[in-house]
Structure 1
Amino acid sequence: MKKFLMAAAFTMAFGAAQAADIVDTAKAAGSFNTLVTAVQAAGLESTLKGPGPFTVFAPTDAAFAKIPKAKLDALLKDKAALTKVLTYHVVPGKVMAADVKSGDVKTVEGASVKVAVKGDKVMVDKAHVTKTDIAADNGVIHVIDTVLMPK
């Protein structure tokens, strides 16, 4: 019985140590509640839980709070527009901060974002990258302070 309990404890500890996907990593962080709600409303949750790899420029709840409430509420109800905005935040592949270079980067949405690297500061369109390299088992999250809007 004692061996069984030790094995069960080891299995639970090992299971808890596994990395999470992009969505679960964002949920666990606690500062991406609006983003997770938007991903679910757009029907993109299963995609971002998929094999990837993905690089996600993730706006925080504070970034979403910069959008007027009526405009954000309307966006959350318009699945096509919401999908366009959210996929504009995703780049195929896993791009770590050390690999980022200035230039245009094609997003999953189809358009490109402009990445500007100046010293240790990185901007994506008009958003500042505030934290980098949050690892997930299917990609990486870089935190941004502004919601990106496709042209």
Structure 2
Amino acid sequence: MPVTPKTLKSAAFAALAATTGFAAISAAPIAAHDHSKKSAPNIVETAQSTGVHTTLVAAVTAADLGGTLQNPGPFTVFAPTDTAFAKLPDGTVSTLLRPENKGQLTSVLVYHAVSGSVTSSDLVKLIEKHGGEASIDTLAGEKLTARLAGDTIVITDAAGRATAVTQADVQTSNGVIHVTDGVFLPA
């Protein structure tokens, strides 16, 4: 059964209130995958292989979203690094990973996902088409705002927290990953 924004939104979502700031940092580059093999890695397999997305993979596992992100998609995922998660207030990640907070964790994670394969070129075109800012609908049913800061795509969440895309267009078999230096938190 294909996963749609509607089926994901039917999960129990709760808002997470946290305040944090993000500064542009460089993420370790994700190694290019050998797509000449019969089956290219999907979003989850790619995140597992980077060495900088351990927290994200643990969160996806705790929220039982691994199967969803292995579906054909396509999906676009803004993938925070371990360093990005470490910038959250102390205790935020461990609290979210508790079984009783699965709804909150799911809400945070699907706020990082967009239906379809949206490349950085697509984002830049949308930003330019809409006068410098483009609204992005997430699978959580909330919006992100994309803009350019020089040559960097900056994504702002509903609470006004800005996060830079530090590595764009990591292609997977079921979509694209954009590595970010911050975590989006729903309003």
1:122 maps to 153
Residue 168 of structure 2 corresponds to residue 132 of structure 1 = yes
Residue 47 of structure 2 corresponds to residue 26 of structure 1 = yes
> 1:35-54 maps to which residues of 2 (within 5 A)?
35-54=56-75
2:144 maps to 113
Deviation at 1:99, TM superposition (A): 0.9
Q: Percent identity?
A: 44
> 1:89-104 maps to which residues of 2 (within 5 A)?
89-100=112-123, 101-102=126-127, 103-104=134-135
Normalised by the length of structure 2, the TM-score is 0.71
Normalised by the length of structure 1, the TM-score is 0.87
State the superposition RMSD in angstroms: 1.7
Deviation at 1:119, TM superposition (A): 3.8
CA deviation string 1:35-91 (max 9, x = no partner): 000000001000000010000000000000111331211111110000000000000
Task: Tell me, in whole angstroms, the C-alpha distance in 2 between the residues paired with 1:69 and 1:39.
Answer: 20
Consecutive unaligned residues of structure 2, counting only runs of 5 or more, are 1-33, 128-133, 157-161
Task: Tell me, in whole angstroms, the C-alpha distance in 2 between the residues paired with 1:71 and 1:119.
Answer: 31
Task: Tell me, in whole angstroms, the C-alpha distance in 1 between the residues paired with 2:73 and 2:102.
Answer: 22
Task: Tell me, in whole angstroms, the C-alpha distance in 2 between the residues paired with 1:113 and 1:32.
Answer: 21
CA deviation string 1:5-64 (max 9, x = no partner): xxxxxxxx9985631000000111111000000000001000000010000000000000
Question: Structure 1 pair 22/95, CA: closer, same or farther in 2 (3 Å)?
Answer: same
Consecutive unaligned residues of structure 1, counting only runs of 5 or more, are 1-12
Greater share of strand residues, 1 or 2? 1
Question: Structure 1 pair 66/97, CA: closer, same or farther in 2 (3 Å)?
Answer: same
Greater RCO, 1 or 2 (C-alpha within 8 Å, sep 6+)? 2
- What residue identity is the alignment partner of 1:81? Q
Count the aligned residue pairs: 139
Deviation at 1:117, TM superposition (A): 2.1
- What residue identity is the alignment partner of 1:107? T
1:8 maps to none
2:107 maps to 84
Deviation at 1:109, TM superposition (A): 0.2
Greater share of helix residues, 1 or 2? 1
Which segments of structure 1 move beyond 3 Å, counting only runs of 4 or more? 13-18
Task: Tell me, in whole angstroms, the C-alpha distance in 2 between the residues paired with 1:20 and 1:137.
Answer: 6
2:95 to 43, 55, 74: 74
Secondary structure (helix, strand or coil) at the match of 2:67 reads: helix
